[in-house]
Structure 1
Amino acid sequence: MKLILLFLFCPIAFSAKHTLRYTLTAASGIPNLPEFVAVALVDNVEIGYCDSHRINPEPKTDWSKKGVELYPNVLDWYTYKCERNQRLIKMRIESLKKHFICSTGACVFQRMNGCDWDDQTADTSGFNRYGCNGEDFITFDLKTLTWVGQTSQADIIKQEWDRDTRRIRFWNNTLTYECLHSLKEYVAFGKSSLQRTDPPSVSLLQKTPSSPVSCHATGFYPDRASMFWRKDGEEIHEDVDHGEILPNHDGTFQMRVDLNISSVKPEDWSRYDCVFQFSDVKKDVITKLDKAEIRTNWVPPSDFLVAAVTGGVVGLLLLLVCITGLFIWRKNDNNRIPVL
């Protein structure tokens, strides 16, 4: 889900599949939400943003800011794109209302388009789809150059858009040429700053002694990574829960994989380990399941009671000290000779 705006804001370079994504979102009838938001991502990293309150595109990474510094006039072009797409997508909402779709109440309409490129196999692909209130509405089929309705209501729009040959030519050219051309330029532009591999910081976390042990990796880059639990060197799937790869604020990523240890005997803990691996790096990061290495903020009830009692005693002692000091201060104060 991304927007045709912010093209220069995206470099990335790895010997693998690269993605360029745009999302445009228009909202109607929802208070405290911008009427229009546009986001651009490369390889799942947000690299540019604008909305109806901030129409000038905002680069989101150091390397996209550098691109703006090198080509300052490009911001004017992206501002134009942001303004133009804001008008277009709001027109789409009006079109939906005309066909009694999103006719009453709140309406959230999105356009999601982009392209993929594998720099090893040279395989490419593109897509463009629209959604309404969180549901797929209509998509563009690049093979047949026709629109495919995802709901019965979308069939009305499909017939109208299939007759619009100018629109079809535009999206065919955008997805098969312009998007890929831009993506390849960004790969070349950002090669020196983004062709890197940042290893993760891996920790074992647990809420309580009976909770699953979470193997948590953070700070890694790129997001082409996997993580799993092993027993005796073999990957296991039972009693394992995989979390999604999520972005950090600094452009790196984090992920977790949980192991239910309720059926694991204490003497068998040494047979388990957590493995983090990049898709294109041979060396894995292996973390043994070790009770001494588990981080937790859990406090046993008995310790909590002792801490509470101790805290109460200390508090009373401090109160007595304060009261005693107050009486001494007043006594000394009464013995002073006033200065006129």
Structure 2
Amino acid sequence: MRSGVGLLLLLGIHLAYARTHSLKYFYTAVSGDINFPELTTVGLIDDGQFIYFDSSIMKPIPKTEWIKQNEGPHYWEEETNILINKHMVLKNNIKVAKERFNQSTGVHTYQQMYGCEWDDETGATNGFLQEGYDGEDFLNLDLKDLRWISPVQQGLITTQKWNNDKALLEKDKQYFNTECIEWLKKYVQYGKSSLEKTVSPQVSLLQKDHSSSVTCHATGFYPSGVTITWMNNGQEHHEDVEVGELLPNVDGTFQKTCTLRVTPDEWKKNKFSCVVEHKGIIKEENEIRTNNGNSLPIGIIVGVVAAVVLLIVMAGIGYKIYQKKKGFKPVNGSDDGSNSSAHAEQHA
């Protein structure tokens, strides 16, 4: 999911590694009467998509040139086998989850998110694996204490079973501490020319009309790490502030908003400004650009469309996978971790 607002590419670009790199996989399985693939999969490097799969096409699709150029037929055959197997296991997981929650009808989703992070300056690493069912947290692997936990009663059967399987826990630990990091470093090296770029954000203050909230919109930046702060008379202002989600633009850059609910009188009597910090560069904006009618700047339109498509792919029927992960069991891929970056998990 690339392309986008051409003008964004004219922003200043210089070479500098992002300090923290991440590899994340998102799986969403759907059951019920809905016109949507039974399984969709998205793989992200540094929050940018590099691989896609769904059960309608039944094969993984490379989304970057660097993965196309560096992995051959064996890699894609392995990924295909793993994902087809995962489709069947997740299908079964939804069936069992419905029994756990005493559900017989309706549309239901099973979600999984896992991956790892690596700080290329300190060498620090981190892994994570979370499960979701119908948009709620259900299972989480605590790698520090090496145990599964669940916030709901329906998950206790699974956590007890898996916490008693010491071999599986050690396998999970080994994957997230070693194999996942190795694949992450390999992918970062593959995509070095694009992943090491830095693109500064374009910052605008937007207001639909004189009495509306004021939105600080930062767009076109890469990598994804950005901080947006509202200032009032030189001091940080946190009241009536709503920070938006990080959203992808279709050219591989990102955008984010931070909205301030403020009356016209308050705006007039105070000196509000928005400060955006990205990769050590700070930009401040205090002049509102008022939109006429219902129009929005093209950057927001393009970015939101891209974000909606990506969120649908990752989360299915409106659930955002970063926040909604309640499932009941991780699934078992057919790989042993040696030929693929996918996580090998036990069957339900």
Q: How many positions carry a matched residue from both structures?
A: 277
Q: Assess, with a 3 A threshold, how the Cα gap between structure 1 residues 95 and 257 changes in structure 2: closer, same or farther.
A: closer
Residue identity opposite 1:296 in structure 2: N
Tell me if 1:90 matches 2:91: yes
Checking the alignment, whether the CA contact within 8 Å between 1:13 and 1:188 is kept in structure 2 is no
Structure 1: runs of 5+ lacking an equivalent: 1-11, 300-340
Aligned match for 1:41, one of 44, 59, 67? 44
Tell me if 1:289 matches 2:287: yes
User: What fraction of aligned residue pairs are identical, expressed as a percent?
Assistant: 36
SS at match of 1:284: strand
Residue identity opposite 2:79 in structure 1: Y
User: Whole-Å Cα distance in 1 between the matches of residues 218 and 171 of structure 2?
Assistant: 43
Checking the alignment, whether the CA contact within 8 Å between 1:274 and 1:289 is kept in structure 2 is no
Checking the alignment, whether the CA contact within 8 Å between 1:213 and 1:261 is kept in structure 2 is no
User: Whole-Å Cα distance in 1 between the matches of residues 53 and 194 of structure 2?
Assistant: 24
Give the alignment of 1:1-340 within 5 angstroms. Answer: 14-60=17-63, 64-73=64-73, 74-96=75-97, 100-101=100-101, 103-105=103-105, 106-259=107-260, 260-264=262-266, 266=268, 268=269, 271-278=271-278, 280-281=279-280, 283-289=281-287, 294-298=289-293
CA displacement at 1:193 relative to structure 2 = 1.7
User: Whole-Å Cα distance in 1 between the matches of residues 67 and 102 of structure 2?
Assistant: 39
SS at match of 1:275: strand
SS at match of 1:263: helix
CA displacement at 1:57 relative to structure 2 = 0.9
TM-superposition CA deviations, 1:176-232 (whole Å, max 9, x none): 211111111222222222211112222232111111222222111112111223234
Structure 2: runs of 5+ lacking an equivalent: 1-14, 295-348
SS at match of 1:139: strand
Q: Assess, with a 3 A threshold, how the Cα gap between structure 1 residues 170 and 72 changes in structure 2: closer, same or farther.
A: same
Checking the alignment, whether the CA contact within 8 Å between 1:13 and 1:191 is kept in structure 2 is no
User: Whole-Å Cα distance in 2 between the matches of residues 277 and 80 of structure 1?
Assistant: 43
What TM-score do you get using the length of structure 2 for normalisation?
Answer: 0.71
Q: Assess, with a 3 A threshold, how the Cα gap between structure 1 residues 140 and 263 changes in structure 2: closer, same or farther.
A: same
Checking the alignment, whether the CA contact within 8 Å between 1:23 and 1:39 is kept in structure 2 is yes
User: Whole-Å Cα distance in 2 between the matches of residues 75 and 194 of structure 1?
Assistant: 22
User: Whole-Å Cα distance in 2 between the matches of residues 75 and 154 of structure 1?
Assistant: 34
Q: Assess, with a 3 A threshold, how the Cα gap between structure 1 residues 117 and 265 changes in structure 2: closer, same or farther.
A: closer
SS at match of 2:42: strand
SS at match of 1:26: strand
User: Whole-Å Cα distance in 2 between the matches of residues 75 and 47 of structure 1?
Assistant: 13
Which residue does the alignment assign to 1:309? none
- Look at both structures and tell me which one has the larger radius of gyration over its CA atoms: 1
SS at match of 2:153: coil
TM-superposition CA deviations, 1:279-317 (whole Å, max 9, x none): x32x32222325xxx231149xxxxxxxxxxxxxxxxxx
CA displacement at 1:136 relative to structure 2 = 1.6
Residue identity opposite 1:71 in structure 2: E
TM-superposition CA deviations, 1:79-129 (whole Å, max 9, x none): 1221122122223234435x5346412331122211122222222121222
Q: Pairwise CA RMSD of aligned residues?
A: 2.5
Which residue does the alignment assign to 2:332? none
Q: Assess, with a 3 A threshold, how the Cα gap between structure 1 residues 214 and 140 changes in structure 2: closer, same or farther.
A: closer
Residue identity opposite 2:23 in structure 1: L
Greater CA drift, 24-33 or 88-97: 88-97
Checking the alignment, whether the CA contact within 8 Å between 1:111 and 1:129 is kept in structure 2 is yes
Residue identity opposite 1:204 in structure 2: L
Q: Assess, with a 3 A threshold, how the Cα gap between structure 1 residues 30 and 127 changes in structure 2: closer, same or farther.
A: farther
CA displacement at 1:239 relative to structure 2 = 4.5
Checking the alignment, whether the CA contact within 8 Å between 1:230 and 1:274 is kept in structure 2 is yes
User: Whole-Å Cα distance in 2 between the matches of residues 28 and 208 of structure 1?
Assistant: 43
Checking the alignment, whether the CA contact within 8 Å between 2:150 and 2:159 is kept in structure 1 is yes
User: Whole-Å Cα distance in 1 between the matches of residues 201 and 41 of structure 2?
Assistant: 30
SS at match of 2:197: coil
User: Whole-Å Cα distance in 2 between the matches of residues 298 and 170 of structure 1?
Assistant: 57
